[in-house]
Chain A
């Protein structure tokens, strides 16, 4: 089996004028995988995608597709010769073409057979002659996907493809689109700011903060073993408590655990689901409560003044002002400083 990654970025940097947008970005997207580039808005995600697609020139570093350098400070393969499919945020269907012609746009010869195949693949049979304005947002997104897949690209780039959809439809269409990509074993790069989306569907997550790769790994790795406080804060709900380290262990308000972190002040990360209310433990006062239907969270001010978020069952959802005791399960993640 060919193990060359479909996409490999090595130390890719880009700046616009004096504004540095990306610096030293490196990661691989293995053949057939779904990689998510995750980061808040304005941290270089879109620029990264545009560099890979060839819409922008690489400032420094190297982009390889299937082992061939397509972008570096000296090489720039035109976007129309990269064999990359792209599904933009709003679909960006050609408004003057019907669904079938949109899908067939990138085919060298207009092959009706291939178009029909893709229309069926995305479940839009008998909609081939509709105009983009005559179909729903979700259907437009599926046409955009079929259009990107038609020329059998090496790689498909998804640029926040679900964020323009209604919250109610998003999950359904997302699962459908990902299902189609998985079934076709297409290598996919998804750019998103939605950490839940990235964590739930990607094989590999690249966290982009401030134009740099803050961490990359499997969703579990990133959630359970965040590389920095910033990553921890960005991915999921995080309780960050101050702690004291003595070189062999750390002590914080909820307990003590072994750690070889340098002596001095430290920070520990405890996820809300690692905490629970109990008859004994660290006492505190409920300051806020949020009810989610299936469960809820309470914010508890502990005896040392720090406030932690605790995930609780509906039955345990204590009222504001109630006195509770909080205990911790498992290990906290420890950061120096």
Chain B
């Protein structure tokens, strides 16, 4: 209807929103711009040479291969399991449904720590593959459960009537209807793998992020680190753009009409295989890391002392909480404009935050280092700078949270408020903000938790002498001091992973 398109007054953006929103969006693009600048520092010739070096091409192949393997494995795991918990009569499917989403809450470096501390020969491709598959298949699984839940069951019935109702065939049938969702999820997995630092660093697999970190650490070659980072961002941008297209298609093919609750398909003797598969996946992705961490802690006690763990926890909480509040505050004008106004500017704002979404943590980290060293000497490696880096990194998460809750408010409410005498800003103050307050709170919580488990930015930009749970765990793991790492891993489980699991499952 006409109201869905939104009123013409929505194309006129109020200045009190547009100015901070545009400034924030521009600021969030500064790291990327500066990175490109550093990459060109020694001229285009150097950049060209670096790009076409054998080792650069090898790097692209290695990272691409890892991303492809993890993506395929994620789809293979996610499709049948999502189907079994949504469309079949599998016993305990409601519990399994939640359990299969839990790995999302486990930081990759934590899972990597669990595996490598158990068996050091996991280092390399197989370790990285195993860990990344375990933590990233939920990016396919979660949207797919939602999509399967909305599928029309009549197709299942027709297939059964025509004698094509065997379970594998029904899974393929359902998957084909949700191709767009699977594609979008796969691209997110690939993006996650390329951006991940913790798993490949712990497993010493020479993927992009680890090599960029190495080039930066080596110190003598910032331009090479910048060139590689730019290449990584380019690949990530392609993935992000493809994901946006795939998601758009997935939404448009979805039927909007209410569909009767599907009657579950009987698995009969096949049920045991699905149970086994779910137990293996949840076991490898969740229970095994938990068991390893508890084993280290109970075998070796808390070696560093409770005081050190508490200090690291305080370090994590302090910066993360401050950063989350600022990030959400910065995200508010952008999220509101994108959700409530229709104009070229709000569309551009949306795209800009989407671009920053493609920036891997290590890329944000090194570009902030470059910026810090050149322009912010006095505060570089001071707490404000770390907070600033978190804001840049997590702005897309916060914008997404504000936006999705603001989009749920019917546009008609704004119109009514306007006709009752409220100006555009009064509508935001009196109608929109009160209604998105829960969304603001949950976005703040999510950003806090995301910052608490963040590794590369924290590692490179933390104020001298400050330790967080993530940096402690990383430092101990990187020198194979697993006994000392255990307590920090346990603290991350308790203070980050469990709250994240609770926060995301309530969505």
Spell out A's residues near B (CB within 8 Å): 16, 46-47, 50, 53-57, 78-82, 84-86, 88, 90, 92, 94-96, 105-106, 108, 147-148, 151
- Do B434 and A96 touch across chains, with their CB atoms under 8 A apart? yes
A94 to B432, CA, bound (A): 10
For the A-B complex with A16-B5, A50-B7, A151-B421 known, give 17 more contacts whose Cβ atoms are closer than 8 Å: A46-B1, A47-B2, A50-B2, A50-B3, A54-B419, A56-B2, A56-B8, A57-B8, A79-B7, A80-B420, A85-B420, A86-B419, A94-B431, A95-B435, A106-B419, A106-B420, A108-B421
Chosen A-B contacts, 14 in total, with CB atoms closer than 8 Å, are: A46-B3, A50-B2, A79-B419, A80-B423, A86-B416, A86-B419, A88-B415, A90-B412, A92-B412, A92-B413, A94-B416, A105-B420, A147-B420, A148-B420
A95 to B435, CA, bound (A): 8
Q: Hey, which chain B residues are within 8 Å of A79, CB to CB?
A: 7, 9, 415, 418-419
**Does B480 sit at the interface, judged by CB under 8 A?**
no
Is the contact region of chain B dominated by helix, strand, or loop, or is it mixed? helix
Is the contact region of chain A dominated by helix, strand, or loop, or is it mixed? loop
- Do A55 and B421 touch across chains, with their CB atoms under 8 A apart? no
Please give the distance in Å from A71's CB to the nearest CB on chain B: 11
Spell out B's residues near A (CB within 8 Å): 1-3, 5, 7-9, 410, 412-413, 415-423, 430-431, 434-435
**Partner among B3, B413, B418, B434 whose Cβ is within 8 Å of the Cβ of A80:** B418
- Do B421 and A53 touch across chains, with their CB atoms under 8 A apart? no
- Do B417 and A55 touch across chains, with their CB atoms under 8 A apart? no
Q: Hey, which chain A residues are within 8 Å of B413, CB to CB?
A: 92, 94
A105 to B412, CA, bound (A): 15
A2 to B420, CA, bound (A): 25
Closest partner residue, chain A, to B434 (CB atom): A96
Please give the distance in Å from A101's CB to the nearest CB on chain B: 10
A16 to B342, CA, bound (A): 15
- Do A53 and B415 touch across chains, with their CB atoms under 8 A apart? yes
Closest partner residue, chain A, to B417 (CB atom): A105
Please give the distance in Å from A1's CB to the nearest CB on chain B: 27
Closest partner residue, chain A, to B410 (CB atom): A92
- Do B435 and A78 touch across chains, with their CB atoms under 8 A apart? no
Interface centre among B419, B422, B430, B431 (most CB of A within 10 A): B419
A50 to B8, CA, bound (A): 10
- Do B1 and A55 touch across chains, with their CB atoms under 8 A apart? no
- Do B435 and A80 touch across chains, with their CB atoms under 8 A apart? no
A16 to B8, CA, bound (A): 11
Interface centre among B416, B418, B421, B430 (most CB of A within 10 A): B416
- Do A80 and B2 touch across chains, with their CB atoms under 8 A apart? no
- Do A86 and B435 touch across chains, with their CB atoms under 8 A apart? no
Please give the distance in Å from B412's CB to the nearest CB on chain A: 4
- Do A80 and B421 touch across chains, with their CB atoms under 8 A apart? yes
Q: Hey, which chain A residues are within 8 Å of B419, CB to CB?
A: 53-54, 79-80, 82, 84-86, 106, 148
Closest partner residue, chain A, to B431 (CB atom): A94
Pick the 9 closest A-B CB pairs, nearest first.
Answer: A106-B420, A55-B7, A79-B418, A92-B412, A96-B434, A86-B419, A56-B8, A80-B421, A46-B2
- Do A86 and B421 touch across chains, with their CB atoms under 8 A apart? no
**Partner among A54, A88, A108, A148 whose Cβ is within 8 Å of the Cβ of B412:** A88
Closest partner residue, chain B, to A84 (CB atom): B419
- Do A56 and B7 touch across chains, with their CB atoms under 8 A apart? yes
A113 to B460, CA, bound (A): 62
Please give the distance in Å from A142's CB to the nearest CB on chain B: 15
- Do B421 and A106 touch across chains, with their CB atoms under 8 A apart? yes
A81 to B423, CA, bound (A): 9
A90 to B412, CA, bound (A): 9
Q: Hey, which chain B residues are within 8 Å of A81, CB to CB?
A: 421
Please give the distance in Å from B429's CB to the nearest CB on chain A: 12
Q: Hey, which chain A residues are within 8 Å of B7, CB to CB?
A: 50, 55-56, 79
Please give the distance in Å from A286's CB to the nearest CB on chain B: 39
Q: Hey, which chain B residues are within 8 Å of A46, CB to CB?
A: 1-3
Interface centre among A55, A92, A105, A108 (most CB of B within 10 A): A55
A55 to B424, CA, bound (A): 12
- Do A55 and B9 touch across chains, with their CB atoms under 8 A apart? yes
Interface centre among B1, B5, B418 (most CB of A within 10 A): B418
A11 to B88, CA, bound (A): 61
Please give the distance in Å from B415's CB to the nearest CB on chain A: 5
A106 to B422, CA, bound (A): 8
The answer to whether A55 and B420 touch (CB under 8 A), given A92-B412, A95-B435, is no
A79 to B418, CA, bound (A): 6
- Do A96 and B415 touch across chains, with their CB atoms under 8 A apart? no
Q: Hey, which chain A residues are within 8 Å of B417, CB to CB?
A: 94, 105
Q: Hey, which chain A residues are within 8 Å of B434, CB to CB?
A: 96
A86 to B423, CA, bound (A): 16
Q: Hey, which chain B residues are within 8 Å of A88, CB to CB?
A: 412, 415-416
- Do B418 and A55 touch across chains, with their CB atoms under 8 A apart? yes
A82 to B413, CA, bound (A): 17
